Structure 1
């Protein structure tokens, strides 16, 4: 989907769900990491994370668009557009918009440590994400020598 197609989708969702036109810019922004989209207060544009479409599909994309349009229309009208405002919460409910975006991670974040070290004396294991210089450090439990048993992947 291109930015032009995204803008057309946002315009149609705005007319169908809110009965009001969307007349500003809309685009995909690959740099968004933790959010599905954002409404820019300064220029009234909407940016959408392309991962929403890739990971969750069109239905979730429409939900994120509705959420951002709630910010857009309330801000234009001078009403409470923030997440904590009653106007915002009631408009979300009225338009069946989601309050939060579903998680966007594709599982590319490693949950386990990359480096494993062991004390030669007491056999205590140290799990680390960053490499450490074993010549500079000793075991915190028994002051024994530490050796690397699993190098980074």
Structure 2
């Protein structure tokens, strides 16, 4: 889906609104991630994905036809530039929030796995006093997960 504009100025107006909405969504999701309210953040995913697809399509179209904006008033271009900077900053904050939560989750999983390993008895299979223990299965921790 692409934007339907009557002229280049209308297209810039629509792009400005689209960019503003994407920035709003990214800022809201970042705040929800920081508050560990993941289910609420997930509710914004569908709209974010739909709008991001439109944004990507329009960005490609503009890259292929940069002359489209030659006759657009400077004030409209300035508004779009301002919203684009805000969107970029919102996406950087979004990424930082995601990385913090991912690191927290990984650390928690690692701590639980290490505690589980430490709580298990060491099997003694050979030597004096050796006896077979039933619970000698290994615990695997996939660091890439």
Q: What is the TM-score normalised by the length of structure 2?
A: 0.25
Larger radius of gyration: 2
Greater relative contact order structure (CA < 8 Å, 6+ sep)? 2
Q: Whose helix fraction is larger, Structure 1's or Structure 2's?
A: 2
Q: What is the TM-score normalised by the length of structure 1?
A: 0.24
Q: Whose strand fraction is larger, Structure 1's or Structure 2's?
A: 1
